[in-house]
Structure 1
Amino acid sequence: MRILVVEDDNILREAVVSLLSEENYDVDEATTGDEGLYAAEQGIHDLLVLDIMLPVVSGLDIVKTIRSKGFTVPILLLTARDSIDDRVTGLEAGADDYLVKPFAIRELLARIKALLRRKGNLVSESELSYGGISLNNKVRDGFAGNQALGLSTKEYDVLEFLILNKEQILTREQIFDRIWGFDSDTTISIVDLYIHYLRKKLSPSGLDTLIKTVRGAGFMLKEG
């Protein structure tokens, strides 16, 4: 699971990022609203954690922009405001939940897990499957029927991202940013290489055809 945290308070942001990293989430961070909006528009995150009062672009404006472009990613707002009007404004803009500062760390984690579960992004190893392919998060491997695929860490991550977004086109940029990160020194051609690796491991079971190349766009996991 990849989470974006947009917060201009350095101490709070670093604490939240550290906490989420300890919980084994992949975390991206931004300190201004314009940086946060750019990252959010890449469509690679499972959850956005946004402060409302941000420099340049407010958290509410990020929510409105993201929703207007059709993104359904869960959004948790962090706010120092505790009036009913402020909470309603955030929810009406398209946020899924809010948390008033200061907050307890356990509550933050509970809210995040609840949002991921509600949106279907937090799934057990037995639930994450598509078209004869299944993933077991506990052993970090994929299966074609009952046959283990022997996936590397990055192969597992790519296949997980494809299954989470089944029947949707993922661009090379989305896959690259999601799996290798914005700051990676690796070139984007690594995406095609790992798609090749996955198809090769799925080929004996005939499931390699599930990974479609969409010319000029990217890749999609789709039956038929």
Structure 2
Amino acid sequence: MSTAGTAAGRARGLVLVVEDEPAIADVVRLNLAKAGYGVHVEHDGERGLAAVERLRPAAIILDVGLPGLAGDEVCRRLRAGGDWTPVLFVTARDDAVDRIVGLEMGADDYVTKPFSPRELVARVTGVLRRAQGVPDAAPQRVGRVTLDAVRRRVFVGSAEIALTATEFDLLAHLMRRPGRVFSREQLLSEVWGYSSVAGTRTVDVHVAQLRAKLGGASPIRTVRGVGYAVEHSSAAEPSP
């Protein structure tokens, strides 16, 4: 519906904001533009979906409680259609079940209203950082799972597995250090870029999603009372 941002901001990345409350959308737009992003705003789910296809944004801020086509359904349709643009959910509902459902739909992060505009911008920056990643020179292999950080692709055997940006970076972080046990707090800080005891459930949900997608080949193990690690013995298997 409206687009803002200088050429330099658009070069940093266009963020699509889908928010039905004009006052909130305007605050988000102003803060993102101030941080150097290009911004396009829509106020309902159908227009938001159309804008994704038309504009190919770098990231999407998506209100869950949109009229008509809800935000979680917008995300579900994007993922079902093979679109893995990073999505950050914004919602007025501060319920753990809602957060988990949102992440299971394929969202990369989740912010609850009322929120600090500066925090929201920081979360967007974090999501984009995870989407871009820091490429390693050579693909990493743990058991049957191969992770190519340069091309941001993951395979189980010869089959490619579609992951969100956050799922990819979580798996990459664990696979870079096979055998090392990470606490949930460490993973939240080092992968998501922020720390919150209340947010550690987010780590559990993403690990569960990774395991479901990788199936029996998943090398991630739970260390009871501590956190997660990738099986060191699997990492010793030779590459093909």
How does the TM-score come out when normalised to structure 1?
0.53
Asked if the contact 2:45/2:70 (under 8 Å) is kept, the reply is yes
Rounded Cα–Cα distance in structure 2 between residues aligned with 1:115 and 1:24: 15
Counterpart check, 1:58 vs 2:40: no
1:43, CA displacement in angstroms?
5.8
1:26-70 Cα offsets, whole Å, 9 max, x none, are 111101111111112336110000000111210001000000111
Secondary structure, aligned partner of 2:66: coil
Counterpart check, 1:86 vs 2:66: no
1:70-101 Cα offsets, whole Å, 9 max, x none, are 11110000011111110000000010100000
Asked if the contact 1:67/1:94 (under 8 Å) is kept, the reply is yes
Q: Which residue of 2 aligns with 1:77?
A: 89
Q: Which residue of 1 aligns with 2:118?
A: 106
Q: Which residue of 1 aligns with 2:156?
A: none
Q: What letter matches 1:109 in structure 2?
A: V
1:109, CA displacement in angstroms?
1.3
Asked if the contact 1:8/1:32 (under 8 Å) is kept, the reply is yes
Q: Which residue of 2 aligns with 1:41?
A: 53
Asked if the contact 1:33/1:62 (under 8 Å) is kept, the reply is yes
How many residue pairs are counted as aligned between the two chains?
A: 124
Q: Of residues 13, 16, 29 in structure 2, which corresponds to 1:4?
A: 16
Rounded Cα–Cα distance in structure 1 between residues aligned with 2:30 and 2:73: 26
1:115-159 Cα offsets, whole Å, 9 max, x none, are 0000107x8xxx9xxxxxxxxxxxxxxxxxxxxxxxxxxxxxxxx
1:156-208 Cα offsets, whole Å, 9 max, x none, are xxxxxxxxx9xxxxxxxxxxxxxxxxxxxxxxxxxxxxxxxxxxxxxxxxxxx
Secondary structure, aligned partner of 1:57: coil
Secondary structure, aligned partner of 2:65: coil
Q: Which residue of 2 aligns with 1:205?
A: none
Asked if the contact 1:41/1:66 (under 8 Å) is kept, the reply is no
Q: What letter matches 2:36 in structure 1?
A: N
How does the TM-score come out when normalised to structure 2?
0.49
Rounded Cα–Cα distance in structure 2 between residues aligned with 1:25 and 1:76: 15
Taking only aligned residues, the RMSD between alpha carbons, in angstroms, comes to 1.8
Rounded Cα–Cα distance in structure 1 between residues aligned with 2:82 and 2:54: 12
Asked if the contact 2:31/2:118 (under 8 Å) is kept, the reply is no
Asked if the contact 1:49/1:78 (under 8 Å) is kept, the reply is yes
Asked if the contact 1:76/1:99 (under 8 Å) is kept, the reply is yes
Q: What letter matches 1:44 in structure 2?
A: R
What 5-or-longer segments of structure 1 have no aligned partner?
A: 128-164, 166-224
Rounded Cα–Cα distance in structure 1 between residues aligned with 2:45 and 2:89: 13
Q: Would you identify which runs of 4 or more consecutive aligned residues in structure 1 move more than 6 Å?
A: none
Rounded Cα–Cα distance in structure 2 between residues aligned with 1:106 and 1:21: 12
Identity value in percent:
40
Q: What letter matches 2:123 in structure 1?
A: R
Q: Which residue of 2 aligns with 1:26?
A: 38
Rounded Cα–Cα distance in structure 2 between residues aligned with 1:16 and 1:91: 21
